[in-house]
Structure 1
């Protein structure tokens, strides 16, 4: 049973780390004028949203505990 689970985890890790082929060749996915990933444009907005959510849920938890 342990060998089967180990094999399943190895295949899952291989499939999770699979990269799609690069049809254009050249410099790869990041070129001039193109962001490394779309999430880079929203880092500040996501950080503010995370801080607001932490404050909201901390306050909510504190009021429930009292």
Structure 2
């Protein structure tokens, strides 16, 4: 049980780190925003989000089906 707790803690730490990886720093005093449209940085992965979500669901279904009959 202790190993599971460590793995879950490591997962949440990694997830929080990845969530805050692209946060933009605050503007300095007297500085403008730059006027770049929406203000959000564009990422090349944005156009693949739906495809990656579908692939993730397929992987979950595949491995669930593969390991459902085996007892660990």
Q: Shared fold by TM > 0.5?
A: no
Question: Bigger relative contact order, structure 1 or 2, given CA contacts below 8 A and separation 6+?
Answer: 1
TM-score normalized by structure 1?
Answer: 0.45
Q: Relative to total residues, which structure has the larger helix share, 1 or 2?
A: 1
Give me the TM-score of the superposition, normalised by structure 2: 0.41
